[in-house]
């Protein structure tokens, strides 16, 4: 018997929409030049169309340049299944051609060091999204786990102005509250929070207060709901906790401002020490992701749950990726 005939009407609807959608995961630390081959099958199984791949975070410019060089080499080797996306049209073309689009993403502004001219250098090398900080303070501003939140630096203002001029997306994930609000005031284009949840549902410093969420939406930005378990609940996380976050954000800021930024990771104890994670915010690894959405290959379950919760086709397609694509088109072309 045809497998499709065995599915319920809701499951057939979810399957059809997932196949139609441009599915964007806006936070993919596993998607690196070194690691991409290991995860390609899971990305395909989950129907991921576009992944924001982490190039660098707390590292300096030399590291980022090396990582970018590796990406271009890998993209040549895997040209039949992967493309580096610089524009919205690149993401759409990759979907049509059955290839994975990778957006090059800095999870922190450290690679810019103290030179705003580096923004254009990295733009010309293909980077399209820069997260301002990674938890702690850097030359651009303060992160969300810093002892104090002094706001955006003068260099941070210069960097945002350069990003606006060139067409790069400002990302407020891992960024302190005051630094984020000042960045929104300074930025002339829509911003994203690539991966975070609402603090009203789970009180973590990595999650976002309602007024900041509203401000992102008022500037036509998008917030990517995150599957990292400690940002969903203090107990054992399930996919229901993730969908609860989507529900809350959809009510608060509208489903046209909600996306996905799963942040799947497999970091070790050595990685934990390297990134200087605050143990009050990030439990020590191994990290157990929510039941029902433990990796890229289970992404289709999110679509099934959105159908079960009564979301319209349009809202589901927007949440799966069209909202992030809208920002990408408006900012990057």
- Residues 130, 26: Cα–Cα separation, whole Å: 12
Per-residue model confidence as pLDDT tens digits over 245-300: 999 999 999 999 999 999 999 999 999 999 999 999 999 999 999 999 999 999 99
For residue 240, what pLDDT band results from cuts at 50, 70 and 90?
Answer: very high
User: Does residue 312 carry a pLDDT above 80?
Assistant: yes
- pLDDT single digits (tens) 88-101: 999 999 999 999 99
User: Could you tell me the two tokens for 251?
Assistant: 């009510």
User: Two tokens at 28?
Assistant: 């993919």
Instruction: Say if residue 3's pLDDT is above 90.
Output: no
Contact 105, 129 (CB under 8 A): yes
Q: Please, are residues 110 and 174 in contact by the beta-carbon 8 Å criterion? A: no
What tens digit of pLDDT does each residue of 176-235 get? 999 999 999 999 999 999 999 999 999 999 999 999 999 999 999 999 999 999 999 999
Confidence grade of residue 6 (pLDDT, cut at 50, 70, 90): confident
pLDDT in tens, 72-119: 999 999 999 999 999 999 999 999 999 999 999 999 999 999 999 999
Q: Cα–Cα distances in Å, from 10 out to 20, 44, 190? A: 15, 22, 34
CA 153 – CA 174 distance, rounded (Å): 16
Q: The pTM is what? A: 0.97
The mean pLDDT value for 118-146 works out to 98
Q: Where are the domains of the chain?
A: 24-271+286-332
**d(C-alpha 288, C-alpha 284), whole Å:** 11
Of the pLDDT bands very low, low, confident and very high (cuts 50, 70, 90), residue 331 is: very high
Task: Characterise 151 by phi-psi region: left (phi > 0), alpha (psi -120 to 50), beta (else).
Answer: left
Query: What are the beta bridge partners of residue 25?
Result: 51, 260
Considering the chain, what is the average pLDDT of its residues? 97
| CATH class of the domain at 24-271+286-332 | alpha beta
* pLDDT above 80: residue 2: no
């Amino acid at each position: 018997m045809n497998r499709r005939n065995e599915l319920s009407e809701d499951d057939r609807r979810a399957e059809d929409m997932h196949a139609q959608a441009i599915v964007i995961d806006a936070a993919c630390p596993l998607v690196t030049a070194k690691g991409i081959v290991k995860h390609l099958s899971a990305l395909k199984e989950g129907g991921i169309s576009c992944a924001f791949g982490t190039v660098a975070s707390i590292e300096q410019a030399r590291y980022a340049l090396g990582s970018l060089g590796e990406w271009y080499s890998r993209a040549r080797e895997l040209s039949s299944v992967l493309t580096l996306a610089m524009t919205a049209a690149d993401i759409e073309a990759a979907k049509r051609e059955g290839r994975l689009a990778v957006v090059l993403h800095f999870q922190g502004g450290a690679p810019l060091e103290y030179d705003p001219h580096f923004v254009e250098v990295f733009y010309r090398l293909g980077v399209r999204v820069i997260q301002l900080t990674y938890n702690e303070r850097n030359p651009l501003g303060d992160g969300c786990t810093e002892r104090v939140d002094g706001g955006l630096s003068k260099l941070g203002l210069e960097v945002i102005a350069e990003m606006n001029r060139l067409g790069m997306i400002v990302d407020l994930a891992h960024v302190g509250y005051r630094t984020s609000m000042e960045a929104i005031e300074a930025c002339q284009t829509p911003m994203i929070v690539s991966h975070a949840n609402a603090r009203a549902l789970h009180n973590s410093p990595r999650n976002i207060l309602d007024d900041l969420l509203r401000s992102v939406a008022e500037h036509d930005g998008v917030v990517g709901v995150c599957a990292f378990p400690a940002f969903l609940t203090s107990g054992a996380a399930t996919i229901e906790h993730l969908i609860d976050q989507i529900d809350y954000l959809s009510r608060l800021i509208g489903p046209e401002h909600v996306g996905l930024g799963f942040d799947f990771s497999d970091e070790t104890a050595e990685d934990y020490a390297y990134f200087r994670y605050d143990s009050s915010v990030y439990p020590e690894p191994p990290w157990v992701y929510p039941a029902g959405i433990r990796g890229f290959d289970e992404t289709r379950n999110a679509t099934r749950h959105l159908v079960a919760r009564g979301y319209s086709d349009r809202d589901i397609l927007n949440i799966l990726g069209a909202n992030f694509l809208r920002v990408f088109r408006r900012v990057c072309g």
